[in-house]
Structure 1
Amino acid sequence: MHGERAVPRRRSRGLTMRAVVPNAITAAALCIGLTGIRFAIGGDFDRAILAVLVAGCLDGIDGRIARLLKAQSRFGAELDSLADSLSFGVAPALILFLWSLQDLPRLGWFAALALALCCMLRLARFNAQIDIDAEDQPHKSAGFLTGIPAPVGAGVAFLPLYLWEATGEGIFRDPLLVGPWVVLVAFLMISNLATLSWTSLKPGRSIRIEVIAVVGLFGAFLFLEPWWTLAVISIGYLALLPYGWLRYAKVRRQRAAALRASPDARAE
């Protein structure tokens, strides 16, 4: 899922040639994400956000390319986590600090630190679970994620910035609003809440044409009204969180009922 790619358990003595492509994409995502900090230092927040979003897009394909080429490796997983922590933790934290949070230097820096730290903690937790079977991870075995993914967390943390760009209203730049929002997103990233993954979002055959149309329209809106579109996507994702919790609770109940009805459970 996104950039957090699984790796085979066997160890490789070196980096294979076919592993160069996905790892080069990961390195590009890292450099582009950090370049967003440079843009923010110069006050160009439009391109700062764009850099992080492009890094997120690259992060979404490097793992898939690695699996397609059968080039998964421990090196790639470690590089991917390092890139994610910098592109979706450090970079968004500094961008938001330079944009708004620096007006409250102490509390604002605390909020920025929370975002960077929680992103790193999330990725460390993922790395610690790489060698654990999916059956021993309830959320993963059911096709769900634990907490908000790092790239999504970075994108959602930018919501006040999207609204400020779209409306020009100073209220969205108020550090008293931005700070608590950033801290909330940070803790959602390391929470134990079940969230929807791509594998759990499978539209029925009867509406797949409509889904393609909606995605196509959103692509057009990204060019026509990028800030409003990004804001709507962020709000839509947040609105899906309760649905994900309820859906996972249903799956958990079904599993518990199936376990109670199994022959082994009846024998006990």
Structure 2
Amino acid sequence: MKKFVVVKQLLDATMRNHMNKYDAQPHRLTFFLPNTFTALNMGCGFAAIIMATKGLYYGACMILILGAIFDSVDGRIARLTGTQSEFGEQFDSISDVISFGMAPAFMIYFKYFQDLGRAGMIISFLYLLCGALRLARFNANINKVPSNYFQGLPIPGAAIAIIGFIMVTLEFDFGMYRNYYAAAYVVFYALLMISNIPFNSFKNSDYVRKNRRKVLALILLILVMVFIYEKLMIFVLISAYVLGCMVYNIFSKDTKVEIFDWEDNDEENES
């Protein structure tokens, strides 16, 4: 009888070990899933660089937009599966430097700035530098910035702005001063990334919550317009977002509490 009990206990322990192994397996798979999308984003950035060196700017823009889609998916998957990790955050930032920092810098250099000599190299590097600084600041202040605002323009937004400019110049002739327009445009968006201008993320928007059907219809309309006439609509949409946020910030500056004044708040708490 005792032997039977001992054997039963051994069988139960073996079964529990197997069940724990199978229970842990899906968790490992879900951990790799968001990082897979992050790696796909990085791959899109790498492919965009290769295509830009060959003069295939339209294809480079399209594949970089695909990278932006992958970038928007990886974080949501991590939150849905409960697999957020510091490793994932750092891997995502490294991927963003390549896809939304390095790739657009190469694209704008080969497209506009080769004839500008060293000045063209400096302008392209300025965009990359500001993008890297933007990501470093985001990681440092990730627990301080309110979720409904971005501190400065996010680097994917700046990359989409570069894509929009390239696409619109493929469609329309900007004349002999096109390279100088591009230089001013790139410097403007580079500085926006390291600015303290609040850009709305719409994550906690009361209007979005109260008008979900209208917002969904608007999103579908925008997607259709982008699909039909992408060479113009990408530029129009990112310009409207950036200018809208800047105008709103100007007119609401007197009534809005400063969002990013943490140093003053820390000094008040210490005193």
Using the size of structure 1 for normalisation, the TM-score is 0.79
**Counterparts in 2 of 1:20 and 1:113: CA distance versus 1, 3 Å:** same
1:199 counterpart letter in structure 2: K
What is the CA distance between 1:214 and its match in structure 2?
2.1
What is the 5 A alignment of 1:20-59?
20-59=32-71
**Counterparts in 2 of 1:178 and 1:201: CA distance versus 1, 3 Å:** farther
Unmatched 5+ stretches in structure 2: 1-26, 259-271
In the alignment, structure 1 residue 65 sits paired with structure 2 residue 70 = no
Rounded Cα–Cα distance in structure 2 between residues aligned with 1:109 and 1:247? 38
Identity over aligned residues, as a percent?
A: 29
Do 1:145 and 1:197's aligned partners in 2 also have CA atoms closer than 8 Å?
yes
Rounded Cα–Cα distance in structure 1 between residues aligned with 2:87 and 2:218? 38
1:30 counterpart letter in structure 2: M
| Of 232, 235, 242, the match for 1:231 | 235
Rg larger in structure = 2
Do 2:152 and 2:198's aligned partners in 1 also have CA atoms closer than 8 Å?
yes
| Of 184, 202, 205, the match for 1:180 | 184
Do 1:161 and 1:173's aligned partners in 2 also have CA atoms closer than 8 Å?
no
What is the 5 A alignment of 1:1-268?
16-130=28-142, 133=143, 137=144, 140-141=145-146, 143-167=148-172, 169-171=173-175, 174-203=178-207, 207-245=211-249, 246-247=251-252, 250-252=255-257
How many residues of Structure 1 are paired with residues of Structure 2 in the alignment?
232
**Counterparts in 2 of 1:141 and 1:19: CA distance versus 1, 3 Å:** same
Do 2:49 and 2:106's aligned partners in 1 also have CA atoms closer than 8 Å?
yes
Rounded Cα–Cα distance in structure 2 between residues aligned with 1:67 and 1:142? 14
Q: Secondary structure of the equivalent of 2:183? A: helix
Rounded Cα–Cα distance in structure 1 between residues aligned with 2:155 and 2:234? 17
Cα deviation digits, residues 37-84 of structure 1 (max 9, x gap): 111111111110011111111111101100111111111111000000
Using the size of structure 2 for normalisation, the TM-score is 0.78
1:188 counterpart letter in structure 2: L
Do 1:107 and 1:179's aligned partners in 2 also have CA atoms closer than 8 Å?
no
Residues 221-230 or 73-82, more deviating: 221-230
Rounded Cα–Cα distance in structure 2 between residues aligned with 1:128 and 1:50? 31
**Counterparts in 2 of 1:204 and 1:113: CA distance versus 1, 3 Å:** closer
What is the CA distance between 1:101 and its match in structure 2?
1.2
Residues 196-205 or 85-94, more deviating: 196-205
**Counterparts in 2 of 1:48 and 1:173: CA distance versus 1, 3 Å:** farther
